[in-house]
Structure 1
Amino acid sequence: MQFAEEAKDIVKAIGGANNIQAATHCVTRLRFALKDEDKVDTQALEDLNIVKGSFTANGQFQVVIGQGTVDKVYQAMIEKTGIREASKEEVKAVSGQKQNALQRGVKVLADIFIPILPAIVTAGLLMGINNILANPGIFGRQAVIEMYPQWAGIADMINIIANTALTFLPALIGWSAMKRFGGSELLGIVLGLILVHPALLNAWEYGAALKEGTVPTWNLFGLEVNKIGYQGQVLPVLFASWLLAKIELFLRKRIWDSIQLLVVAPVALLVTGFLTFIIIGPITFTIGNWITDGLVALFDQYAVIGGFVYGALYAPMVITGMHHTFLAVDLQLIGSTGSTFLWPILALSNIAQGAAAFAIMLAAKDDKLKGLAGTSGISAWLGITEPAMFGVNLRFKYPFIAAIIGSSIAGAFITMQKVLATTVGVGGVPGIFSIIPGNWTSFFIGMAIVIVVPFIITYAIALRKRKSLE
């Protein structure tokens, strides 16, 4: 069987099958819940050609293999080493016992937002194509659809396809959140669609309606409830989904099977819907606006400091998994203001990690290291940084630090220039398509900084430490 020997060697290096409580895999990594991480022979593990790095995060020991290969290695491991196949939920349940409250909270957010990330990234790429066609200043004073009106229909269709994921974002979050909380995913979708029903005042029009005093309301026995939707909002559907899951599970344990179809879903949705419009929605909508207004004010007043700090902290947050929490913040910013100033810094941070890896590739004498650094650098520039970070940069430390220096400088620069992204896209070189076209020049300068600075620093130090790269 392909990769059978490699799978056996990996299991041996992490302490044998008896040291593994549960094992699964994601897009690029094998994920283990181990009994004792002290039994792991890290040197033996990372000496294996197929392994690009290893680290511990969220209570799991993770081995970086690479996209497309990891699932084959995992299947070989299941077949040849006697380890029982486990779901991600089982591994998370076992590893979650070792986490503190903050880590568990971050893991919950990651579990909810990672499954919907492909839809959001796809939306970002398609919106980038629409920006090229519909915005002036890219190929001249006029937009492409103004110079060539026959392209207007195509641009409009692309815009509708691209905007769908963000327009119905609460439905996507509702589906994923209900799955995470143990409820029915279908009810989560329905809950999300309820919150963006066309009969409700669009959330993006709420501010203007509030100033004019034209916010529609329901009168519930004398209680005035705002009749508004929650387009682009994150917090309302998150809390409402948690409540919906709890009510559904409570009812399923107590209602006869023969009438569950007639009772559980209608009652759960009705109770959750009322409580969401009356209590959960208004409170979380206000909290979301506070978060948005606070961040906007902070970055407006202290742009250079804010960009510098976020650029420096993003890569270390990836190690801990805390970066997933900022996806929710980005989506909240987009939903409230139509753009985000945080995501462009993320894209540059990924490019910086790739540039540092490319410097190691150029300086290294060892063929395996050259190959690993080259492929992982390309991966980082396309938005997947784990192979570069854990396989190369953290291994030698100074490339990782050089990448942080570059991303912090670039983060300060693009924040000072008020570079904004209209959506979350591919966090690397293709990220340019998510940037507002008027900010492209500043973003290109930021890209130059995160390519040149990490590369020069890493290469200069690598030449002095050439023996460690042999």
Structure 2
Amino acid sequence: MSEKELAQHIIRLVGGKENIASVQHCATRLRIVVHDKDKINVKEVENLDKVKGSFFNAGQYQIILGTGLVNRVYDEAMTQLNLAAESPVPEDTTSKPVYGNKFQRAIRMFSDVFVPIIPVLVATGLFMGLRGLLTQEAVLGVFGMTPDDIPNQLLLFTQILTDTAFAFLPALVCWSTFKNFGGSPVIGIVLGLMLVSNSLPSAYDVGSGAAEPLVFFGFIKVAGYQGSVLPAFATGVLTAKFEKWLRKRVPDAIDLIVTPFVTLVVGIVLALFVLGPILHTVENVVLYAVEGLLTLPFGIGGLLYGSFGQLLGIFGIHHILNFLEISMLANDGWNYLNPIGTCGNVAQAGAVLAVAIKALSAKTKQVAYPSCLSALLGITEPAVFGVNLRFVKPFIMAMIGGGCGGFLASLLGLRATGTSITGIPGTLLYLNEQLPFYILVNVVAFAVAFVLTYFFGFHSKMENQA
């Protein structure tokens, strides 16, 4: 079945064009908001070729397609629905249903903003990992070299690859926020660049004591917001809404001149003198609190997050972690959540493989075996929603496996150079002295989940009960 045919079938089975309020997608799932969910034929959707499962979450009907395919099906769906794939998400909720409570909608808002910039940060993390590998003495020694033999120009080139995205992170966040809240993305980019202007003391220099912040009005300390996420996000939300409000009131004849000018002035004043100082402090408190949890003595933090962090995806609030991981990396270059979270993903692979081996149903095996590989590559939705959560006990065994791996990762002090990739691809974030330990914790998580599921978490009779 081609992507075009798959999109046609999905549109038909969710109630047709007239039942679709909006369509979006993340890394693996097509996310559809409908007017009447009773018109969705869930069983037939899940029986479509290339569909790995589906579920309702936070008011959206989410269809699991997998990486790559979801982008192509999304483009085909948008074409058939006569919608612009790059148009901002509409703010007018009077024309479409609003699903989920306020907390769920807030998490979905975070997701819509941060998902588009994750690919760039993934690439940056991989660059960091490769640079760490190629600059190790042991690796250079194979070629008869030492770190002193690396040309300065090459080091500068690698710094361009690894530092740019985080140095200009506020510009990426403001761009995506404006795009999602109906503002002009180009204004968002410029506003974000203002937050890291060379005219301001760098946040990194101020943090290290190499520079002093500027002082306005005798008490407001101002510095650049390199690496900050929350100030740029809040500034983008409020300023995008302000721009939309302004465009409705400024005459068309002078809109081109007045609206961008006033929007940028109001936005930068809000950012530097009001939102920035307050939210930067809040951001640091949140980061310290999370890092404090993860570094609790005796591996307790890793045990808790490795076990229960897997529940975040079920409740649709896992995207809040994007903010935390990005902030951690921007703050000191390390991601403390990734090594523990990856144990949870790999544990799901162990549990689903045990189900695949013991299952009698050809349909269960057909879904479970590919889901194991997918989870090992960092995509757990097919394993979680298609198999483990369906039988319940395998998911619980995966939580235990993830907790064991997370416990060990916490004791070993593992930390990643990037974000958003786990399992086998995540190895690239540990191309340093941590690599053997990264492999060890994942093997432990996989093995514990597999053994527990095989002997205690699944039997073939459960297939008739699910």
Q: Is the 1:133–1:145 Cα contact (8 Å) retained in structure 2?
A: no
In structure 2, the CA distance between the partners of 1:215 and 1:322, relative to structure 1 (3 Å rule), is same
1:196 matched to 2:193? The reply is no
Question: Which residues in structure 2 correspond to 1:49-128 (within 5 Å)?
Answer: 49-70=49-70, 89=89, 97-128=98-129
What is residue 159 of structure 1 aligned with on the other side? 159
Question: Which residues in structure 2 correspond to 1:147-226 (within 5 Å)?
Answer: 149-150=149-150, 153-209=153-209, 215-219=212-216, 222-226=217-221
Q: Is the 2:423–2:442 Cα contact (8 Å) retained in structure 1?
A: no
Give distance in 2, aligned partners of 1:267 and 1:186. 14
What is residue 349 of structure 2 aligned with on the other side? 354
* Structure 1 residues 384-416: Cα deviation after superposition (integer angstroms, max 9, x where no partner): 222222222222223222221111111121112
- SS of the aligned residue for 2:116 comes to coil
Q: Which letter maps to 2:214? A: T
Q: Is the 1:58–1:95 Cα contact (8 Å) retained in structure 2?
A: no
In structure 2, the CA distance between the partners of 1:262 and 1:69, relative to structure 1 (3 Å rule), is closer
* Structure 1 residues 307-346: Cα deviation after superposition (integer angstroms, max 9, x where no partner): 1121122222112221100110112222223322112222
What is residue 337 of structure 1 aligned with on the other side? 332
State the Cα distance separating 1:350 from its structure 2 match. 1.8
Give distance in 1, aligned partners of 2:298 and 2:310. 19
Q: Is the 2:178–2:188 Cα contact (8 Å) retained in structure 1?
A: yes
Q: Is the 2:309–2:341 Cα contact (8 Å) retained in structure 1?
A: yes
2:259 pairs, out of 260, 264, 279, with: 264
Structure 1: segments with no counterpart, 5+ residues = none
State the Cα distance separating 1:145 from its structure 2 match. 6.3
- Aligned residue pairs total 461
What is residue 20 of structure 1 aligned with on the other side? 19
1:392 matched to 2:387? The reply is yes
Q: Which letter maps to 2:126? A: L
Give distance in 1, aligned partners of 2:97 and 2:108. 9
In structure 2, the CA distance between the partners of 1:326 and 1:157, relative to structure 1 (3 Å rule), is same
In structure 2, the CA distance between the partners of 1:270 and 1:353, relative to structure 1 (3 Å rule), is same
State the Cα distance separating 1:102 from its structure 2 match. 0.3
1:325 pairs, out of 320, 323, 338, with: 320
User: TM-score, normalised to structure 1's length?
Assistant: 0.86
What is residue 294 of structure 1 aligned with on the other side? 289
Structure 2: segments with no counterpart, 5+ residues = none
In structure 2, the CA distance between the partners of 1:224 and 1:76, relative to structure 1 (3 Å rule), is closer
In structure 2, the CA distance between the partners of 1:29 and 1:196, relative to structure 1 (3 Å rule), is same
More divergent stretch after superposition (34-43 vs 423-432) = 34-43
In structure 2, the CA distance between the partners of 1:3 and 1:115, relative to structure 1 (3 Å rule), is closer
Give distance in 2, aligned partners of 1:276 and 1:465. 58
In structure 2, the CA distance between the partners of 1:164 and 1:145, relative to structure 1 (3 Å rule), is farther
In structure 2, the CA distance between the partners of 1:105 and 1:3, relative to structure 1 (3 Å rule), is closer
Q: Is the 1:350–1:385 Cα contact (8 Å) retained in structure 2?
A: yes
More divergent stretch after superposition (407-416 vs 111-120) = 407-416
Q: Is the 1:96–1:104 Cα contact (8 Å) retained in structure 2?
A: no
* Structure 1 residues 339-387: Cα deviation after superposition (integer angstroms, max 9, x where no partner): 2211222222222222322333333344443343232222222222222
1:455 matched to 2:450? The reply is yes
* Structure 1 residues 285-319: Cα deviation after superposition (integer angstroms, max 9, x where no partner): 11111112222333333462221121122222112
Q: Which letter maps to 2:205? A: E
Q: Is the 1:59–1:95 Cα contact (8 Å) retained in structure 2?
A: no
State the Cα distance separating 1:456 from its structure 2 match. 1.8
Give distance in 2, aligned partners of 1:100 and 1:467. 33
User: TM-score, normalised to structure 2's length?
Assistant: 0.86
In structure 2, the CA distance between the partners of 1:144 and 1:456, relative to structure 1 (3 Å rule), is farther
State the Cα distance separating 1:224 from its structure 2 match. 4.4
Q: Which letter maps to 1:447? A: N
More divergent stretch after superposition (30-39 vs 188-197) = 30-39
Give distance in 1, aligned partners of 2:228 and 2:49. 45
1:285 matched to 2:286? The reply is no
State the Cα distance separating 1:443 from its structure 2 match. 1.9
2:425 pairs, out of 426, 430, 434, with: 430
Q: Which letter maps to 2:322? A: L
Give distance in 2, aligned partners of 1:254 and 1:78. 32
- SS of the aligned residue for 1:31 comes to strand
* Structure 1 residues 48-80: Cα deviation after superposition (integer angstroms, max 9, x where no partner): 55432121111012222334545676788899x
Give distance in 2, aligned partners of 1:86 and 1:92. 17
State the Cα distance separating 1:113 from its structure 2 match. 0.2
- SS of the aligned residue for 1:276 comes to helix
Give distance in 1, aligned partners of 2:2 and 2:131. 43
State the Cα distance separating 1:184 from its structure 2 match. 0.9
Give distance in 1, aligned partners of 2:5 and 2:394. 32
Q: Which letter maps to 2:200? A: L
Question: Which residues in structure 2 correspond to 1:236-247 (within 5 Å)?
Answer: 236-247=231-242
Q: Is the 2:204–2:226 Cα contact (8 Å) retained in structure 1?
A: yes
- SS of the aligned residue for 1:438 comes to coil
What is residue 434 of structure 2 aligned with on the other side? 439
Give distance in 2, aligned partners of 1:246 and 1:75. 28
Q: Is the 1:58–1:96 Cα contact (8 Å) retained in structure 2?
A: no
- SS of the aligned residue for 2:379 comes to coil
1:275 matched to 2:270? The reply is yes
Coordinate RMSD, CA, aligned:
3.5
Q: Is the 2:21–2:35 Cα contact (8 Å) retained in structure 1?
A: no
Give distance in 2, aligned partners of 1:144 and 1:199. 44
